[in-house]
Amino acid sequence: MNFDSIVFIVTLFVILPNEAKVLKKTSNTCEDILGDDLIEEIWSYRNVKDDILKYVLDGDFKGKTYDELAKFVDKFGARPSGTDVLEKSIDYMIELTKKEGLNDVITEEVKVPLWERGEEKITMLEPREKDIALLGLGKSATTPPEGLTGEVVVVRNFEELEGISEDKIKGKIVLYVPVFTAYGETVTYRSQGASKASAKGAIASLVRSITPYSLYTPHTGSQTYADGVVPIPTAAITLEDADLITRMYDKGEKVVLNIKMSSKLDENKISRNTLIDLKGSEYPEKLVIVSGHIDSWDVGQGAMDDGGGMFVSWAAPVILKRLHLTPKRTVRAIFWTAEELGLIGAYAYEKAHRNESDNINFIMESDEGTFAPLGLAVSGTQKARCIIAEILKLFKSINASTLVEENSPGSDIAIFTGNGIPGASLHNDNGKYFWFHHTEADTMNVENPDELDLGAAFWTAVAYIIADLSIDIPR
């Protein structure tokens, strides 16, 4: 979920929320790099692309992705790492896949943590009494049963924190109030805030939820304690309460909170990555991977993060199987486990398959919502990007021809693209994604059947074309 990279688009425009830039033209255009024969080959997939879109948007698969996602989410709800419900949901997906005639399904065991939140309560004691909504952050330390009581110090960024002497932080509660810019920029206050506050002697840390919009919904998420610091309780509070406290603090009022948080942590649970293969006809050892993660936070129901992304990846080999389309290379769908607590499933897969990494032709991930697809965010060489850009031109009819260049697209697949493997994440119309992200509001109400159809059709067709091309995507 990193939006910080410099990007480029097929049209030579960069499109990010509320901004646009024009890139300088290079001496070698994509037409020069690819050559007429490869461009002609890519355009020869027009008809098969149309067949896939028609089958999903107007044919027998219409509404299927949404319906299956709804059944799954309604049956299992939240699926936290290390829980029985997560493992039952994995079993369910295996059986659902086999009913579609796809029998090349295996799971690989992964040791994962189970973090269970208990009682969580914050009460403002001064300058007036008020309950403060919160969500503890992943693996947060606990408080004593009676809680921790302390005065609040409000800081807007890490530089401001560094400029405050330790004696003014020691024994107090640090509240970070960053204004949401891009997720990749602002999330550091959630992931690193507790460690930096603890290093200055704070007894607890809070963060203004990492979101641009709130209806009094706190947003949870992962955080990590740095080596050598005392783990302190840490939680997210709503934008409304963070702004209220900030206004009081800025007026010189003393703000005192009591924080009560309990939780349990077991680092030795076993979960599984799930691998589904539609074997290639000519190069079955070579892989085009489509993926999403099956686990979720314990709040909400994991419909958007990342049920939708998992189901469009499940749909790809299923749709190809139904349409009797067998590409030259294997299309492998992967449901990563334990993503939310640190990309644990992806790290385990990379380690277990490191000697096979040369066989990954292209890797894709959907983990930023499944709103209307706009294209792909791509990491790779210039020629790799040019190939994907040419493929995306085929999807102009559904407004999904945009290519965004990112050094680190996606979350789980960043491990692979960081090692030089070309890959992409779904670039979609997700301006409201972080409204619901890691909250109780992540439910089926966020999902749209028509947009899921578009996503599944686009995801499937792109994967098929890449897997069937006469050439590998270059590294």
The DSSP letter of residue 424 is E
Q: Is residue 460 within 8 Å of 51, Cβ to Cβ?
A: no
Which residues on neighbouring strands pair with residue 200, listed in sequence order?
none
Q: How far apart are CA 331 and CA 315, in angstroms?
A: 11
- Amino acid symbol at 124: M
Strand 256-278, strand 148-155: pairing: antiparallel
The answer to whether residues 226 and 195 touch, using CB atoms and an 8 Å cutoff, is yes
Instruction: Give the list of residues 6+ apart from residue 165 with CB closer than 8 angstroms, or none.
Output: none
Q: Of these residues, 120, 339, 406, 447, which one is catalytic?
A: 339
DSSP bridge pairs for 173: 152, 204
Cβ-Cβ contacts under 8 Å for 84 (sequence gap 6 or more):
none
3-state SS assignment for residue 89: helix
Interhelix angle 64-76/449-468, rounded to 10 degrees, is 110
Q: Is 84 helix (H, G, I), strand (E, B) or coil?
A: helix
Q: CA–CA distance from 218 to each of 149, 256, 264, 339, 439 (Å)? A: 21, 20, 21, 20, 6
Amino acid at 103: N
Q: DSSP per residue over 143-168, as a string?
A: --TT-EEEEEEEESSHHHHHTS-GGG
> Which contiguous run of DSSP H or E holds residue 88?
helix 84-99
Query: In this structure, which amino acid lies at residue 468?
Result: D
The answer to whether residue 185 is catalytic is no
Catalytic residue set: 339
